[in-house]
């Protein structure tokens, strides 16, 4: 009986204390920019995509229309993420200029969890997307019908300590 109780405590306490946990290397400062923003991948998709981690295991994706987004100031992107996150306390899709853009952008805000050495979150795919960490980048792994789609994102420091 004591062993079961001890095992339950060992399994539940880390999960309960994980509020602002960044155990896999999530960076709360700055954001991540998709490799291929401002070039042919963005032109094909019709947008530049950015990803940001927030406290208490929230994640945001920001989709800015291409070519409008080419060369967008990083401070404006960071502020738009802050506005989008402040507008919801649950998972949401938001379409707005976020007080920063002349065109409408889409923000997706979701909760994330840990799946082994990856982060998992809802991303509109058949099953959850995962993020795996590399040296200075993350890879978004999105399930597909035949293959996984793997997109690399590079960290963009904004210097504001958010």
pLDDT, tens digit (0-9, with 9 covering 90-100), for 112-125: 999 999 999 998 76
Q: What is the mean pLDDT of residues 65-80?
A: 96
Domains, the chain: 23-156 (2.40.128)
pLDDT the model gives residue 21: 61
pLDDT the model gives residue 67: 96
* Mean per-residue pLDDT over the chain, rounded: 86
Whether 118 contacts 138, CB under 8 Å: no
Q: What is the mean pLDDT of residues 30-39?
A: 96
pLDDT the model gives residue 40: 95
Q: How many CA atoms lie within 13 A of 123 on its CB side?
A: 24
Distance CA 85, CA 83 (A): 6
pLDDT the model gives residue 112: 96
- 147 class by beta-carbon count within 10 Å (0-12 exposed, 13-18 middle, 19+ buried): exposed
Angle at 131 between CA 112 and CA 148, to 5 degrees: 120
Residue 99 above 80 pLDDT?
A: yes
Beta partners for 162?
Answer: none
Q: What is the mean pLDDT of residues 21-42?
A: 90
- Maximal C-alpha separation, the chain: 63
């Amino acid at each position: 009986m004591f062993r079961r109780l001890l095992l339950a405590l060992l399994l539940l306490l880390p999960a309960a204390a994980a509020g602002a946990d960044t155990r896999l290397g999530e960076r709360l400062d700055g954001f991540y920019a998709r490799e291929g923003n401002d070039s042919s991948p963005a032109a094909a998709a019709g947008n530049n995509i950015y990803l940001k981690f927030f406290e208490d295991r929230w994640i945001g994706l920001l989709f800015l229309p291409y070519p409008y987004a080419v060369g967008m100031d990083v401070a404006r992107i960071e502020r738009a993420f802050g506005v989008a996150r402040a507008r919801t306390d649950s998972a949401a899709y938001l379409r707005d200029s976020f007080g920063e853009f002349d065109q409408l952008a889409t923000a997706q805000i979701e909760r994330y969890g840990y799946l082994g050495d990856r982060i998992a979150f809802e991303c509109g795919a058949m099953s959850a997307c995962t993020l795996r960490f590399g040296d200075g980048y993350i890879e978004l792994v999105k399930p597909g019908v035949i293959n996984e789609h793997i997109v690399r994102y590079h960290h963009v420091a904004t210097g504001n300590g958010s």
